[in-house]
Structure 1
């Protein structure tokens, strides 16, 4: 092994035009002992083609040819297994040169860290050898230069999206951003086009093919033949094509003058705890008809995007402001739904809408509330039947009520021997409430009282723990949890199910 380790460099060579290679990248390529590059199945390396005139004669070249692209493979680990093995073997080949003291340059199309294969070599080699990364011009920069359309300006937000995202998720993200770049087209193009249409972004979306290469071209996405789309293509959705106010900010709906508008209703919708199958048909029908969806951002994101739907997401502490905005839209004749997780009437947006609607200005705006599956119902069903008898529901959040009031209510519930369902048990800024609740309840309940802890029930990360009041670990509880504290009669069946008898001895 050489006393000197070779230097490893990931060099961006830009999107296709050799003149877009940076001076630093050119110098490193000319000085390299080894020039490595990736190549597709049955294809020549595009990165090597771009840098061909810079590669010195006699330099060692390492072609890293992919074993598979997206097609079928006989590898026992499938596509992921085949690629992991390929990257490991490629890293070993480059490491042998570096250990021998040879400087290795790995060419990367565009920028090395922008959807590039270089990063997988970086993961395997950077902690073993001196490593340098040279930025390159990304393909989307060449694309926007070609179409001569400003991508973002002032406070516009740019989102870069892979076309391989599920269609509904792609549509949602397109609707929620000012400007977008969509990579990885090819066979994904038909679904991407549908997502653009659903998000109301198709009209101004621009298709760019082989940006900065001799065969480059661009045209509106609506005019593209899906059968003609190669991998070296992308879609640009410029931010300044959106309606903006005089300050350049993206415009939201502007209600018309109330006395000339046809007043519509505000429908408050409970989305359930998470899974689409727990959304009621009634709620789904309303969401498919309204023009606007208003709510806390994570809940708005759960509503499928479609053509004509405008989404208005906001933070978690502006419920009444959000309600007023929805009421203003309805007063101007816009069809609007306000969304909540679980049931909108259980610590949700329904109460906030009615609070805002007390303003005489909204006297003519009807409000309708649709029920949803509540979190307590979901957790109770997973556990068995812990709320099969009388029960109470309390939020431990003291944002809207003083903590002594919460303690007073907990004490009364404990003395009444009711099953207790607890919402909002803890957050990053509220860390003592669960421990305080535990100590208060232990003054009235047995340490063996059954406690159910449900986290993310109905979602992929779902967990359910059955413990006791004494063994409950407050440090393990966060905002994703809902707790059910049993009554004296609550028991655990031989099957592990938790239930509370309907009768009292």
Structure 2
């Protein structure tokens, strides 16, 4: 954990002491902000305003870096991976003291984001002292779908392959159900340096229920530096090695096509060409 940004003097003035006491007796604000894929131009106006008015910004260090232009001069509390609980608890604590706090989440905060954890940790006595707001944003599935074309224009499922918080058997059960149901499937966190078996298992499951020529879109670093877009098929997708935690995979269904270089799932309008 590291704290950066905030200004510190050798001694506190009487005015600052009065301000601190006033904050401690007033209602705090905790705003959980989604920053989308990470491109500042894709942030909503409401998200930018929330960041601007907040005195304290809390978030994963890599995500804070993506919005560094918006948080200059703020008090920053950032930490590394797997320390989400620590960050959410700190944000709640500081908001409970009467501060305006922004808890930063990648993508949409309510989709595999920090909003759920904040609500889970928020105690009844905290809720009386804190005004909580969740500001939505573009999730990875939506961002990657836009880059590929329109693969999510009909029913789809989103499944994370990370087994840190969900048992592997449960993930496999969901993969099987989505494949059987002919859903377009968006895969989050498909592979890490140590976790490769689940993605291989997913390809095997999909191959049992999808045709080999089913379109598959693979997007790495959507709307960030190093963006990479691959449009391939199910039979060839398993051979692509440049996949990591910054990658989102969209597997088409029986209604998915490739048209003019774009991935499209038919909605049922029966458009004649």
When normalised by structure 1's length, the TM-score is: 0.48
Q: What aligned pairs does 1:32-431 form with structure 2 within 5 A after superposition?
A: 176=4, 261-303=25-67, 304-307=70-73, 309-357=74-122, 359-364=123-128, 365-431=130-196
Instruction: Report the 3-state secondary structure (helix = DSSP H, G, I; strand = E; otherwise coil) of the residue aligned with 1:337.
Output: strand
Aligned to 1:105: none
The answer to whether structure 1 residue 490 and structure 2 residue 256 are counterparts is yes
Q: What aligned pairs does 1:20-39 form with structure 2 within 5 A after superposition?
A: none
> Alpha carbons of 1:419 and 1:259: their partners in 2 closer, same or farther (altered >3 Å)?
same
Deviations 1:451-499 (A, max 9, x none): 1000111123111101111111253311111000001110000x11110
> Alpha carbons of 1:324 and 1:317: their partners in 2 closer, same or farther (altered >3 Å)?
same
Instruction: Report the 3-state secondary structure (helix = DSSP H, G, I; strand = E; otherwise coil) of the residue aligned with 1:268.
Output: strand
Name the larger-Rg structure: 1
In 1, the alpha carbon distance for the partners of 2:207 and 2:75 equals: 49
Instruction: Report the 3-state secondary structure (helix = DSSP H, G, I; strand = E; otherwise coil) of the residue aligned with 2:153.
Output: coil
User: CA RMSD of the aligned region, Å?
Assistant: 2.4
Shift of 1:386: 0.3
Instruction: Report the 3-state secondary structure (helix = DSSP H, G, I; strand = E; otherwise coil) of the residue aligned with 2:53.
Output: coil
In 1, the alpha carbon distance for the partners of 2:81 and 2:125 equals: 25
In 2, the alpha carbon distance for the partners of 1:355 and 1:325 equals: 14
Deviations 1:136-193 (A, max 9, x none): xxxxxxxxxxxxxxxxxxxxx9xxxxxxxxxxxxxxxxx83xxxxxxxxxxxxxxxxx
In 2, the alpha carbon distance for the partners of 1:381 and 1:502 equals: 16
> Alpha carbons of 1:319 and 1:242: their partners in 2 closer, same or farther (altered >3 Å)?
farther
Comparing both chains, which one has the higher relative contact order based on Cα–Cα distances under 8 Å and sequence gaps of 6 or more?
Answer: 2
Aligned to 1:480: 246
Instruction: Report the 3-state secondary structure (helix = DSSP H, G, I; strand = E; otherwise coil) of the residue aligned with 1:404.
Output: helix
Aligned to 2:228: 463
Is this contact kept in 1: 2:57–2:71, CA < 8 A?
A: no
In 2, the alpha carbon distance for the partners of 1:490 and 1:314 equals: 40
Aligned to 1:109: none
Aligned to 1:27: none
In 2, the alpha carbon distance for the partners of 1:380 and 1:449 equals: 16
In 2, the alpha carbon distance for the partners of 1:260 and 1:456 equals: 41
Shift of 1:311: 0.4
In 2, the alpha carbon distance for the partners of 1:340 and 1:390 equals: 26
Instruction: Report the 3-state secondary structure (helix = DSSP H, G, I; strand = E; otherwise coil) of the residue aligned with 1:484.
Output: strand
Aligned to 1:443: 208
Shift of 1:360: 3.0
Instruction: Report the 3-state secondary structure (helix = DSSP H, G, I; strand = E; otherwise coil) of the residue aligned with 2:224.
Output: coil
The runs of 5 or more residues in structure 1 that have no matched partner are 1-156, 158-174, 177-198, 205-240, 244-255
In 2, the alpha carbon distance for the partners of 1:360 and 1:200 equals: 30
In 2, the alpha carbon distance for the partners of 1:305 and 1:442 equals: 46
The runs of 5 or more residues in structure 2 that have no matched partner are 13-19
Is this contact kept in 2: 1:434–1:474, CA < 8 A?
A: no
Is this contact kept in 2: 1:329–1:336, CA < 8 A?
A: yes
Deviations 1:268-314 (A, max 9, x none): 0011102111011110011111000111111122332333x100001
In 2, the alpha carbon distance for the partners of 1:476 and 1:362 equals: 44
Deviations 1:398-449 (A, max 9, x none): 1111000001001110111010011111111212111111011111111211
Moved over 4 A (4+): 256-260
When normalised by structure 2's length, the TM-score is: 0.88
In 1, the alpha carbon distance for the partners of 2:124 and 2:22 equals: 13
In 2, the alpha carbon distance for the partners of 1:485 and 1:305 equals: 37
Is this contact kept in 1: 2:23–2:98, CA < 8 A?
A: no
In 1, the alpha carbon distance for the partners of 2:84 and 2:71 equals: 22
Deviations 1:20-46 (A, max 9, x none): xxxxxxxxxxxxxxxxxxxxxxxxxxx
